[in-house]
Amino acid sequence: MITWLAANRKRISEYLFYIAFTIEVLIMILEKSEISFHLESYVFRVTFLLTFLAVLVMKHDKKEWLVIGCVWIIAAISYYSSGKNDMLRVVTLVMAARDIDLKKAMKYCFYVCLTGFLLIALLASIGVLGDVALTKDFGRSVGAETRYVFGFGHPNTLFSSFFVLILMWIWIYGRKARIIPYLVAVVSSALIIWLTRSRTSALILAMTVAIAILFRFFGKLSEFKAFYILEALVSPVFCVLSAVMAAGTAGRIYAGDRFLDIGDLYWKIEDALNNRIGSIYYEAANRDAVLAGWKLFSAHGTDSFFDMGWVRLFYWYGIIPAALIVVALTAVIYVCWKKRDIWTMILIFSVSVYTIVEATFVTRYLGRDFFLVIAGVYLGYLFVDKGETDVRSA
């Protein structure tokens, strides 16, 4: 039995990973629809157990076991402290993804999501499940407005679902796509922006597509080290600083905390962000999402929802778990630089900047966070000799 297990480690761990990942993606698609499902917590325990077994089956050296143990301890403390097992599930899923075929996994995720999202839109369009559009006051200081949802419940949910698809398409096909596919991407992006009437997020989507086009048709730019350094300054440095500034300013304005006084500039920023900074204070229970309320490990009851995803990351899980994510993100950027993988850098940049103003990817639904699969494979390069395969040709 031991001999058979040793000979089939990779296959067993891959099966376990795909079963867990498939369940996570399907639960995410279900959650985006108008279908109610109240057994997520039980299902998430199953997916955690599957990825946990996958990690145990995989072969690790002493150095990797030491890192795995330390990470699991931090995640377990986060679970005990906050009552949320999300961090434990995230790190275990990342570990379980180490040896998978990355391109195959990304294509699998892309087509499952595409099929699920199209099904949601189709059911709404034929009047079976969900609304096609909503007309109401969305709190954007413009009164009642009509925005399309196509069964996703909210226009921002529809937009974020498309955003995920375009990011995966860029990573999988963008490096080789020709002009016509990119024109389709541009037109479809413009259409979804018009349908959802998104503003801040629309700018990020437009910038992402433009950057992808730039590097696709001027490929030599990916060799310049400066772009990787710049991205490291944006994510995580700028993103973390933006969270500190937003949470600190919200505390000063609404709770009287001691922080920088930016005067009238605050109200201009707040207006541009549709009052997202104010929601840090008003939407969080006990008002503890402001900077003064951040803890090393978050406590029970810190489960309120608001935008500004980087702030929610520190609020939901605490400073130490968030710092662990920052370290992992920095390590992935380092691997990208070593391999001159500008396409993963584009993805990291876009997701990181998007998470400043939205919290789509700070969630218990790990199926939204498709980039965790990339992180697992890339972090694996720090522990396992995977040869000299150039990820750009993947």
pLDDT of residue 198: 87
User: What pLDDT is stored for residue 10 in this prediction?
Assistant: 87
On whether the CB atoms of residues 198 and 156 are closer than 8 A, the answer is: yes
Q: How confident is the model at residue 2 (pLDDT cuts 50, 70, 90)?
A: low
Question: How many CB atoms sit inside 10 A of residue 186's CB?
Answer: 14
| In contact, 135 and 145? CB cutoff 8 Å | yes
Residue 114 CB contacts under 8 Å (≥ 6 apart), including other chains: 165
**The pLDDT of residue 7:** 66
The overall average pLDDT reported for the chain is 92
Average pLDDT, integer, range 73-89: 96
* Residues β-bridged to residue 137: 144
pLDDT at position 1: 59
Q: Using a CB cutoff of 8 Å and minimum separation of 24, what contacts does 121-128 make?
A: 121/150, 121/151, 121/152, 123/33, 123/151, 124/149, 124/150, 124/151, 124/152, 125/150, 125/151
Average pLDDT, integer, range 219-226: 92
Beta bridge partners of 133: 148
The confidence score (pLDDT) of residue 393 equals 39
Count Cα atoms within 13 angstroms, Cβ side, for 245.
14
C-alpha angle 60/90/36, rounded to 5°? 140
By the 8 A CB rule, do 27 and 364 touch? no
Name the pLDDT band for 9 (thresholds 50, 70, 90). confident
pLDDT at 390 over 50: no
Q: Which of 229, 146, 238 is nearest to 194 (CA)?
A: 146
Instruction: Quote the pLDDT of residue 385.
Output: 58
Mean pLDDT of 367-382: 96
Residue 391 has pLDDT above 60, yes or no: no
Task: Using the CB atoms, write b or e for 351-363: b if 16+ within 10 Å.
Answer: bbbbbbbbbbbbb
pLDDT surpassing 70 at residue 389: no
Q: Which residue has the higher pLDDT, 385 or 173?
A: 173
CA dist list (Å): 369 to 116, 135, 321, 386, 388: 16, 30, 17, 24, 27
Residue 181 has pLDDT above 80, yes or no: yes
Query: What value does the mean pLDDT take over residues 319-345?
Result: 96
Q: Are 307 and 190 in contact (CB under 8 A)?
A: no
pTM exceeding the 0.85 threshold for the entire prediction: yes
List beta partners, residue 147: 134
pLDDT band, very low/low/confident/very high, at 37 (cuts 50, 70, 90): confident
Q: What is the pLDDT of residues 238-290, one digit of tens each?
A: 999 999 999 999 999 998 888 988 888 899 999 888 889 999 999 998 899 99
pLDDT of the residue at 36: 87
Closest by CA to 329, choosing from 279, 376, 271, 264, is 376
pLDDT tens digit string along 138-153?
Answer: 877 777 899 999 999 9
